[in-house]
Amino acid sequence: MKVRLSHSDLERIGRNQAAALETWGATLAGHMPAPWRHQVLSDWKSRRAADERDGNTWLRHLVEEMQEGCAVGLGLDASDEDIREAGKQLAARAFQVAEDLHIKTLPALRERLASLCEQNGVQAPECRIKDKGAVRRMTTAAWWVRKLRAAHGQRIEAAAISLGYVHKRGQRYASDVGVKRRREQKARNAASLAATIAVNQDGQEFTLAELAEKSNANPRVRRAELMTRIRGFEMVADSLGHVAEFLTMTAPSRFHAIKVDGLRNPKYDGTKPADTQKQLVKRWARARAAMARDEIRLYGFRICEPHHDGCPHWHMLAFLPADKVERVREIVRHYFLETWDGHEAGAAENRVKFEAIDKARGGAVAYVSKYISKNIDGMTVNGDLLGDGQVEVAERVETWATTWRIRQFQQLGGAPVGVWRELRRLKVEDGLSDTVEQGRIMADVGRNSDYGQSAPGWAGYVALQGGPLVSRADLAMRVERTEAGEKMDPTTGECVEAVNCYEEPCAPNVWGVRDAEAGRVFLSRRFKWEVRRGSGNSGQVQGGAPVVVRGGDGSRVSELGSDGVRAGASGNRGGGLRGSGFAPARAPRTRVNNCTRSKQDGSDETGSSGRGSGRDEGGTGIRRYADAQKGHGGGGIRGAGRGDSGGACGNSGDL
């Protein structure tokens, strides 16, 4: 017997199916950030009108693509609170893995935890990090939160580019969602800095916000310093008879998601801005090597900024001898055009551009000032070519650079700025050598003024260091650092062992300026700071219950707190996992070596006993230098160690 449905029954069923389909679509779109949902649903309905099956398939695949690689339970619409909670949960899961009795060694545990990172779209610690440090990172909630925040921000921007939202007729340089996230992050950071107090040995107290305002973290300071160095380089070039060249390098069309007219680019291959930047860096490395083979050396600055669709491109201000210009152009054209999709339409006209700096138009500073300001704080820029206001331009560009981890400014050649900054810390009463005193004077020229007054100081500093083409081995002055795992206490002159929050040796720390010819080092970091954290640190991840790490026989050997450090860190610690390198960390202590050894113990300042044998020839010991700071004599320190990077570790150090 056939059942006939009335017209009203069919309408009711149709309405129910339509409502169910709408609910299904709204549920899928609910995984998107709120500002995108309306547009996604609108596109879905348009596609459904043409072909319902294809429209539904498009929406399902779109959501699956956007969710791919996201942490479990963490959608693109996740808030920062959701990210912090996910970080805690993943750290707890890592603790559970660490308790697995079947995992007998740290390398095996590291491999298991690395797979957990991969499953949640987070890059595991690099291979250069030892197993113990890698495990501590992957069992730390704060580490997970940092990684998840970075990965989540990049996924949002990648999704916005894929959906075609980032372009000059929509959301320029970065998505509105990304800009909003960056504002919230900066607000959290500002609250944390304002609530954190730094106290030095003289009892002076400052919030970290006050100290940051005086450093290169302040956009105004950073912009002024860059302009000073550029103008200083131009003055050096004028004195040497060198010319200035302005170069622009752009990636091929397949790296651009949106064309200039705002339409989608069918050639786009899905490459993200960070990967495009890596390609540009690789190309420049090859070009630089070719120049070195031809004995061509240049100096200046490289500026990286986004196209309207977020694809990076480079501007470069280079100073070089006039007879080398044509060869440099040939090399750059070869690596950035001829061997990189140079056959495509419009490549010869748009991909690589060269322009000789015309002093009648204001010189090098006039050419790059708008790029510097646009990429920092927007000051002196009356909008960009796309019509955006100065503040909006800078905010969007800064969001773009921060999200994709792209370095916006890089000095090419010339004397290192690190020494110049340390020279500004020195005082005339420090008993400086002639070279260092001249460097201090140059560094102080026009201090606290605009770049026009301070640029001669940078030019003089570059000349004092050996000129703009000097090699690092021939510098007259260098930054002096401690050895890895040490910090120099400026109040006592002693080297103290220091570890980071993962109980690894702290990175080398800057503490002075070395006069290479005189073989003397002068203390530039004279304050010892203790950081006291207040209650206003929003977004901080607190510790949780410790997890037991067991040996191969199942016996308990140590505990890890949720911060990745064993519980009971301030007391006696148990033995490590035998043979795995998970040994108890030593408590910080003062190291006595040939730099601190006094003559009372039977050895002189240049004695051969101890780890630092032969490191202090021709100079005075740290203890004697500490006494000299009190007015008992002069002298510097020789050879307190080398390193390629510095930074403060723990809760006290030099700022």
Q: Which of 367, 451, 461, 502 is the catalytic position?
A: 367
Nearest-angstrom CA–CA distance, 599 and 623: 11
Virtual torsion, Cα 574, 579, 581, 583, nearest 10 deg: 10
Nearest-angstrom CA–CA distance, 459 and 415: 10
Termini Cα distance of the chain: 89
**Ramachandran sector of residue 553 (left: φ over 0; alpha: ψ -120 to 50; beta: rest):** alpha
DSSP 321-382: -GGGHHHHHHHHHIIIIITSSTTSTTHHHHTEEEEE--GGGTHHHHHHHHHHHHTTT-TT--
Nearest-angstrom CA–CA distance, 602 and 135: 44
C-alpha R_g of the chain = 29
Has 299 been annotated as catalytic? Answer: no
Residue indicated by tokens 């950035």: 336
Q: Which of 165, 268, 299, 371 is the catalytic position?
A: 371
Other CB atoms closer than 10 Å to residue 314's CB: what's the count?
A: 20
Nearest-angstrom CA–CA distance, 560 and 175: 40
Q: How many residues does the chain have?
A: 655
H helix or E strand, kind and range, residue 497: strand 494-497
Nearest-angstrom CA–CA distance, 249 and 409: 15
Has 451 been annotated as catalytic? Answer: no
Give the residue numbers marked as catalytic: 367, 371
